């Protein structure tokens, strides 16, 4: 409760005090005035009685001219404070007077009207009563009795004292009530304020305000606050997640960029190196040719020109492959209906024609047509089939298969051969450009064919992987993004 907590309970307490104080003051005033009026009435009545008693008891004293006796009668009033009295003869002269020091209630003169036997005068500070003494039907004198209303101010003081005591009790009760109110009203609000303070100070949105046991507006407030905290917390964590994701993505992209950079460096180095080789050979042979010119040996020159053509065509092949690779990455995709089996068949026929001496059996299944860029897919299939053709070239006979399988809801195409195969541990390097698993002398090639295939298939939303073992052949599996309705049964 270190927070500015006392204010609410203090205000509640003051409210209690003010309300009870106002009620008390009004009640005291009402009672006081009622009491004042009834006190005056009672006083008048009691004075009337006293006047009648004094009058009756003074008859013989007046008749027998005994003021002493009348005075004795009057002195019986000494128990009534602030009361003075006098008996007057019928001619208005004093017969017996009873006065008190400091009261001065009896006026110097006050006449009883003729005919009236009783009269009462009430002035601000004094009640005066006259009563005619009648004996045997004849008036023989008058009793005057007067009281000063000093009681009034005394009573006011008493009321004030009582009101003060009650106010004190009210204050104590107010403290007790405010303690209760503090528990039931202020406490939940204070707890809520504390929680809010903690949330803003520590930025900890996991804390919750304690809901009060009663189902009142404070409970609604607390629940709304908690609900707000839940939403803030959710938004906060979503923000954090998004940030983490973004960071991860940036890291991935950075890594990919770095890899691409490295690949590009290696690629350009390899390209330069691979182009440099045949170029050196071309320069060397051109030099020999210049020297041969003078000596004029026709047979040698023919052989050198042959080598020259081979070197330049090798360079042209490499450049073509590089162009294919580049095109595979950059060319805009067309959407054609493509029959893969048809393409494979054409390639197979080309190959058989180019090397009719080889004994290679083609097994070509007919998967349904696919939607793809025909030019690119043709390059990809050409690479795969020629790859199989090349790596079976050391075997007496060979079998190359093409087909598709429905596995786990996707169509997987395959090109299988029973050729030289590869070390399965090096599978990953198969699709990197200029990475060869076999020496150039064993199997000629530029080393970018499979990389080109991978690029093309990836651009078609597919992927490629390979299974194989040394001298046990190889199987290249690949998939394509499937248009709706393309299914193999």
**Which of residues 93 and 330 has its CB atom nearest to another protein in the complex?**
93
Distance CA 83, CA 95 (A): 18
Strands (E) located in 262-358? 336-338
The pair of three-digit structure tokens given for residue 424, joined into one six-digit string: 């399965």
Q: Which of 54, 88, 229, 456 binds another protein (CB under 8 A)?
A: 88
Question: Closer CB to another protein, residue 109 or residue 357?
Answer: 109
Query: Using the rule CB under 8 A, is 139 a contact of another protein?
Result: yes
How far is the C-alpha of 268 from the C-alpha of 448, rounded, in Å? 12
Task: Assess 402 for contact with another protein (CB under 8 A).
Answer: no
Query: Does the protein bind another protein through residue 92 (CB under 8 A)?
Result: yes
Establish if 55 lies at the interface with another protein (CB under 8 A). Answer: no
CA angle at 31 for the pair 29 and 36, rounded to the nearest 5°: 95
Using CB under 8 A as the binding criterion, the count of chain residues that bind another protein stands at: 29
Residue from 47, 61, 404, 456 touching another protein (CB under 8 A): that is: 61
Question: Is residue 95 near another protein by the rule CB under 8 A?
Answer: yes
The single residue among 136, 295, 332, 357 that binds another protein, judged by CB under 8 A, is 136
Q: How far apart are the first and last CA of the chain?
A: 76
Strands 410-417 and 464-468, sheet pairing: unpaired
312 belongs to the binding site for another protein (CB under 8 A): no
Q: Which residues pair with 138 in a beta bridge?
A: 135
**Does 437 participate in binding another protein (rule CB under 8 A)?**
no
| Tokens 């170029």 -> residue | 279
Spatial separation of the C-alpha atoms in residues 134 and 58, rounded to whole Å = 10
Least distance CB 71 / another protein (angstroms): 12
- Asked if 140 interacts with another protein (CB under 8 A), we say yes
From 134, 142, 111, 127, select the one nearest 45 (Cα to Cα): 127
User: Which one of residues 60, 125, 215, 248 is an interface residue with another protein (CB under 8 A)?
Assistant: 60
Taking CB under 8 A as the criterion, the residue among 39, 135, 414, 465 binding another protein is 135
- Least Å distance, CB 46 to another protein, is 23
Interacting residue with another protein among 36, 44, 53, 59 (CB under 8 A): 59
Mark residues 14-53: x for contact with another protein by CB under 8 A, - for none. Answer: ----------------------------------------
Please report how close the Cβ of residue 101 comes to another protein at its closest, in angstroms: 24
Say whether residue 325 binds another protein (CB under 8 A).
no
Q: Does 110 bind another protein (CB under 8 A)?
A: yes
Number of helices (H), then strands (E), belonging to the chain: the values are: 9, 12
Among the listed residues 9, 142, 446, 454, the single contact to another protein using CB under 8 A: 142
Q: Does 116 bind another protein (CB under 8 A)?
A: no
Task: Measure the CA–CA gap between 145 and 54, rounded to whole angstroms.
Answer: 9
List the one residue from 29, 63, 255, 323 that touches another protein (CB under 8 A). 63
Asked if 62 interacts with another protein (CB under 8 A), we say yes
- Strands lying side by side in the sheet with 397-407: 359-364, 397-407, 410-417, 474-478, 464-468
For residue 481, count other CB atoms closer than 10 A to its CB.
14
Strand partners, 412: 405
Q: What H or E segment, with its residue span, contains residue 43?
A: helix 6-63
As a whole number of angstroms, the distance between CA 394 and CA 399 comes to 13
**Of 12 and 129, which has the nearer Cβ to another protein?**
129
Judged by DSSP in three states, 467 sits in: strand
Does 96 bind another protein (CB under 8 A)? Our answer is: no
Contacts with another protein by CB under 8 A lie at: 57, 59-66, 69, 88-93, 95, 109-112, 114, 135-136, 138-142
């Amino acid at each position: 409760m270190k927070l500015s907590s006392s204010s609410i309970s203090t205000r509640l307490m003051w409210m209690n005090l003010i309300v009870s104080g106002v009620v008390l003051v009004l009640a005291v005033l009402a009672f006081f005035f009622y009491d004042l009026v009834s006190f005056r009435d009672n006083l008048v009545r009691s004075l009337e009685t006293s006047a009648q008693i004094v009058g009756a008891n003074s008859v013989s004293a007046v008749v027998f001219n005994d003021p002493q006796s009348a005075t004795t009668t009057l002195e019986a009033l000494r128990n009534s404070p602030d009361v003075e009295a006098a008996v007057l003869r019928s001619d208005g002269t004093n017969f017996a007077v009873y006065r008190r020091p400091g009261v001065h209630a009896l006026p110097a003169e006050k006449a009883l009207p003729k005919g009236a036997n009783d009269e009462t005068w009430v002035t601000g500070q004094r009640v005066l009563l006259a009563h005619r003494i009648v004996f045997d039907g004849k008036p023989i004198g008058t009793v005057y009795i007067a009281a000063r209303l000093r009681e009034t101010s005394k009573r006011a003081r008493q009321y004030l004292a009582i009101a003060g005591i009650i106010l004190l009790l009210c204050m104590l009760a107010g403290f007790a009530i405010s303690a209760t109110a503090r528990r039931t009203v202020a406490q939940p609000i204070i707890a809520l304020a504390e929680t809010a303070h903690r949330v803003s100070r520590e930025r900890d949105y996991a804390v919750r305000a304690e809901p009060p046991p009663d189902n009142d507006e404070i409970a609604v407030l607390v629940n709304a606050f908690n609900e707000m905290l839940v939403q803030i917390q959710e938004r906060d964590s979503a923000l954090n997640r998004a940030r983490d994701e973004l960071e991860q993505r940036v890291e991935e992209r950075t890594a990919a960029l770095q890899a691409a950079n490295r690949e590009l460096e290696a690629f350009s180095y390899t390209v330069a190196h691979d182009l440099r080789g045949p170029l050196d050979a071309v320069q060397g042979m051109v030099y020999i040719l210049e020297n041969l010119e003078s000596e004029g040996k026709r047979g040698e020159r023919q052989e050198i020109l042959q080598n020259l053509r081979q070197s330049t065509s090798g360079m042209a092949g490499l450049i073509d492959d590089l162009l294919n690779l580049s095109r595979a990455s950059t060319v805009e995709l067309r959407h054609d209906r493509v029959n893969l089996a048809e393409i494979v068949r054409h390639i197979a026929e080309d190959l058989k024609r180019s090397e009719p001496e080889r004994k290679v059996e083609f097994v070509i299944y007919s998967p349904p047509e696919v939607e793809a860029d025909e030019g690119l897919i043709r390059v990809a299939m050409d690479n795969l089939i020629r790859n199989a053709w090349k790596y079976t070239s050391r075997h007496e006979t060979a079998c190359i298969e093409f087909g598709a399988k429905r596995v786990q809801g996707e169509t997987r195409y395959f090109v299988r051969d029973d050729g030289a195969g590869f070390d399965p541990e090096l599978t990953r390097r198969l699709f990197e450009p200029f990475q060869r698993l076999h020496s150039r002398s064993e199997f000629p090639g530029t080393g970018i064919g499979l990389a080109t295939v991978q690029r093309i298939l990836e651009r078609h939303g597919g992927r490629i992987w390979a299974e194989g073992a040394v001298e046990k052949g190889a199987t290249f599996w690949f998939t394509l993004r499937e248009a709706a309705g393309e299914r193999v049964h």
